[in-house]
Amino acid sequence: MADAHAHSLTAVTPFQFYTSFVLQEATGFRAATLPRLVKLLHRVPEACIYHHTHYFLLSHHYLTPEPTHDFAYWVTEVLGDEALGERLASIDILEFNSLAKIRVILVKTIEDHLAQHPTARFRFVSEGEEFFFIKSVQVVMPTQETASSLAEFAEALSRVSLSSLYFHIFDARLRLGRSTNDFARWCEEQLGETTLAKELIALDPYAHSLEALRSMIIALVRQRVG
Amino acid sequence: MTLDQYRPFVGPSTLRELRWLAEHLNGRRICCVNATKTGGGVAEILHRMIPLLRELGLDVWWEVLEGHPAFYQATKKLHNALHGKPETLTPEMQQTLIEVNQRNLSRLNLDADIVFIHDPQPIALVEARRQVGRHWLWRCHIDLTYAQRDAWEFLRPYVQRYDAAVYSAPAFARPLAIRQILIAPSIDPLSDKNKELSPETINDVFAHLGIPQDRPIVTQVSRFDYLKDPIGVVEAFRLVRRSIRCRLVLAGGPASDDPEGEEILAKVRERVGSDPDIHLLMLPPDSHTEINALQRGSTVIVQKSLREGFGLTVAEALWKGKSVVASAVGGIPLQVKHRYSGLLVHSIEGAAHAIKQCLRNPEFAKQLGENGREHVRQNFLLTRHLRDYLMMFLTLGRSEDMMTLNGS
């Protein structure tokens, strides 16, 4: 709901928009079967878990519907186990607030499937089509965009790159260990906008393309300031 | 070309970010080294990339290794062996490779903050790292998935002396103690090979090359190299033509470091015989507009490689909104998400089936093409490539997974 008061509020600490860039690094770990995949899932760095469950959001954000995360895509399209692929794709990553927990649910889903379908362990892919574990190395830097009010915030958000949006939504929570996305946190802590913050938290970032997500956030903020 | 010319394709924020990243490199001195100034994807990328890196304030120069016919024969053998073809790299050939590298050390200016070596030919220059260069990077553009063991063992001691190896796809990475960075190559939307063309220009090129546009056209653009499997493409085409009337264009060109092109072309000619529906084109290296027009005027673009460093022709075709049928090798699966932005295949029969799917379902083919163009816009344009290089330079000597730069 529009609120004249919300329009005039100014934050003591302006919102500083950052952006992050992903440099991909090979780890040398590869899996041609499900048992090998699950074994490696136990030990690869968290940067790998993050990469394979999130990087597709940046690289394929324009597709509607978006393809699934890397584990589900590989299991379905390359290994050919559609039942497991479907189970992996249906994991609601938003429910998990740490990479450690995402790792656990991925491992459990695959191990449960192997227990229920013992022959699944014999599926394999040929050389060159294995699941290759990659890790994200991120370079983070501030942009020149800052905002002290909701109106300025909406304007700046419309100008920043999708990498910036990605940083404040996904990196903030899962790589920097913040309780929620940066936008909601700033609205609540700096402007006392509790309701707006809750609306921003309630958005499911995995269910929309990044461009759609940007539009939805801007719409919520503009609705608030009228 | 200037960075601002890319604004219509990538938007202003991408260009701003490139400039911020470059500011943190403080005009660092970077020397790129490869084995040829013309022909092939590597030279093409360097021709485009270096002026833009300079515009971003880096001091970049390009050195080219000088060799002789015996050296190029040896590097071709090494190249094929690294791609998995059974080849013997004799001790004499190895010696030739090393000697040419040593001889070039005295004539090349490698006095840089970062020496950026491309492909195996100049790899042994790293022996000079105690004398020149602060950081050394080895950029491997080759698909090493099936590399012959002897060939890789010849390279390995050199690779391990670099700060990092850089590959186009994760499948190429090897067990090594150094960092292994993944950077896909890119295409330039402003180049003659990729810029928009009018229908008249496209029609003129087809007419000039003697290719009637009376039926759907299936095209593969590649050097005449056995790794590109031109004969497999001919066989796949003949399977398609049993039920769909269409034409095949095989368009290739020579590269100065590839002595096998003519030999492979002769074999393809023999297989094609007098088939009037198959058009073999050996184009000069500067036929960029012709290649562009051929891709734009085709219905389906094929890239049926047996091995592939990356397969930039796939990105080129996707950028033109074409449906692509390509082998799931090398860097191609990074460009084509199966059934989203193209069709991945594993055999001649599979290629034929996929080509038929595209020819019989124009709406499906159109959707693949539209997704493919957007995928290239987001992930395979020169500006993304530049950004990756800048990040790689910035992270040299660092080990953390998340690195924060101060404001500028």
Which are the contacts of B183, defined by CB distance < 8 A and separation ≥ 6?
Answer: A23, A24, B139, B166, B167, B168, B385, B388, B389, B392
Asked if B167 and A26 come within 8 Å (Cβ–Cβ), the reply is: yes
Which among A139, A158, A160 is the top mutation candidate for probing chain B, defined by the most B β-carbons within 10 Å of its own β-carbon? A139
Q: How far apart are CA B377 and CA A144, in angstroms?
A: 24
CB atoms < 10 A from the CB of B246, how many?
A: 18
* Residue that has been written with the tokens 């060159």 in this structure: A128
* Residue that has been written with the tokens 């709901």 in this structure: A1
Q: Give ipTM to 2 decimals.
A: 0.85
Report pLDDT for A83: 97
Considering only CB atoms, which residues of chain A are within 8 Å of chain B?
19, 21, 23-26, 28, 30, 45, 47, 59-63, 67, 73, 77, 127-130, 132-144, 159-161, 163-164, 175
Identify all chain A residues contacting B374, using CB atoms and an 8 Å cutoff: 62-63
Identify all chain A residues contacting B337, using CB atoms and an 8 Å cutoff: 60, 63, 67, 73
Report pLDDT for B150: 94
Asked if B182 and A143 come within 8 Å (Cβ–Cβ), the reply is: no
Q: From the list A133, A136, A139, which residue is nearest B394 (CB)?
A: A139
Identify all chain A residues contacting B403, using CB atoms and an 8 Å cutoff: 137-140
Nearest CA in chain B to A167: B402
Asked if A19 and B17 come within 8 Å (Cβ–Cβ), the reply is: yes
Q: Which residues pair with B34 in a beta bridge?
A: B64
Closest listed residue to residue B101, CA positions, set B89, B80, B119: B119
Q: What percent of chain A has pLDDT over 90?
A: 69
Asked if B401 and A136 come within 8 Å (Cβ–Cβ), the reply is: yes
Q: From the list B338, B375, B395, which residue is nearest A139 (CB)?
A: B395
Query: How would you list the strands of the sheet with B300-303, edge to edge?
Result: B278-282, B247-252, B217-221, B300-303, B323-327, B343-345
Q: How far apart are CA A38 and CA B397, in angstroms?
A: 32
CA angle A214, A215, A218 (to 5 degrees): 85
Identify all chain A residues contacting B339, using CB atoms and an 8 Å cutoff: 77
Q: What is the mean pLDDT of residues A116-124?
A: 96
Asked if B374 and A163 come within 8 Å (Cβ–Cβ), the reply is: no
Supply φ then ψ for residue B251, to 5 degrees: -115, 125
Identify all chain B residues contacting A30, using CB atoms and an 8 Å cutoff: 170-171
Size of interface A-B (CB pairs under 8 A): 117
Question: For the packed helices A150-159 and A210-225, what is the interaxial angle rounded to 10 degrees?
Answer: 160
Q: CB-based contact (8 Å) between B61 and chain A?
A: no
Closest listed residue to residue B216, CA positions, set B238, B250, B245: B245
CA distances from B25 to A120, B19, B20, B63 (A): 50, 10, 9, 21
Give me the domains of chain B, ranges plus CATH numbers. Answer: 3-186+382-395 (3.40.50.2000), 199-379 (3.40.50.2000)
pLDDT in tens, chain B (408 residues): 899 999 999 988 889 889 999 999 988 999 999 998 876 678 888 988 999 999 999 999 999 999 999 999 999 999 999 988 899 899 999 999 999 999 999 999 999 999 999 999 999 999 999 888 889 999 998 888 889 999 999 999 999 999 999 998 888 888 889 999 999 989 999 999 999 999 999 999 999 999 999 999 999 999 888 889 999 999 999 999 999 999 999 998 755 556 677 788 889 999 999 999 999 998 988 899 999 999 999 999 999 999 887 888 999 999 999 999 999 988 898 899 888 899 999 999 999 999 999 999 999 999 999 999 999 998 999 999 999 999 999 999 888 888 888 754
Report pLDDT for B408: 42
Are the CB atoms for B299 and B359 separated by under 8 Å? yes
Identify all chain B residues contacting A23, using CB atoms and an 8 Å cutoff: 181, 183, 388, 391-392, 395
Q: From the list A60, A130, A132, which residue is nearest B337 (CB)?
A: A60
Q: How far apart are CA A83 and CA A88, in angstroms?
A: 9
DSSP labels, A176-209: S--SS-HHHHHHHHHH--HHHHHHHHHS-GGGS-
Question: A91-125 burial, b for 16+ CB within 10 Å, e for fewer?
Answer: bebeebeebeebbeebeebbeebbeeeeebeebeb
DSSP labels, A123-136: ----TT-SEEEEEE
Token pair belonging to B9: 């394709």
Q: How far apart are CA A145 and CA B101, in angstroms?
A: 49
Q: Which residues pair with B181 in a beta bridge?
A: A25, B166
Token pair belonging to B118: 């491309």
Are the CB atoms for B284 and B253 separated by under 8 Å? yes
* Residue that has been written with the tokens 């394979």 in this structure: A52
Are the CB atoms for A205 and A215 separated by under 8 Å? no
- Taking every pair of Cα atoms in chain A, the longest distance, rounded to a whole number of angstroms, is 64
Asked if A25 and B182 come within 8 Å (Cβ–Cβ), the reply is: yes
Asked if A26 and B183 come within 8 Å (Cβ–Cβ), the reply is: no
Asked if B395 and A21 come within 8 Å (Cβ–Cβ), the reply is: no
Q: CB-based contact (8 Å) between B370 and chain A?
A: no
Q: How far apart are CA B341 and CA A63, in angstroms?
A: 9
Convert B130-177 into a string of H (helix), E (strand) and C (coil).
CCCCCEEEEEECCCCCCCCHHHHHHHHHHHCCCCEEEECCHHHCCCCC
Are the CB atoms for A18 and A167 separated by under 8 Å? yes
Nearest CA in chain B to A134: B170
Q: Which pLDDT band holds residue A1 (cuts at 50, 70, 90)? A: low
Asked if B17 and A143 come within 8 Å (Cβ–Cβ), the reply is: yes
Task: Return the sign of the alpha-carbon dihedral for residues A120, A121, A126, A127.
Answer: positive
Report pLDDT for B407: 56
Which among B7, B9, B10, B13 is the top mutation candidate for probing chain A, defined by the most A β-carbons within 10 Å of its own β-carbon? B13
Asked if A128 and B329 come within 8 Å (Cβ–Cβ), the reply is: yes
Q: CB-based contact (8 Å) between B363 and chain A?
A: no
Identify all chain B residues contacting A133, using CB atoms and an 8 Å cutoff: 170
Segment A54-108, tens digit of pLDDT: 988 887 776 766 778 999 999 998 999 999 999 999 998 888 889 999 999 999 9
Q: Which pLDDT band holds residue A168 (cuts at 50, 70, 90)? A: very high
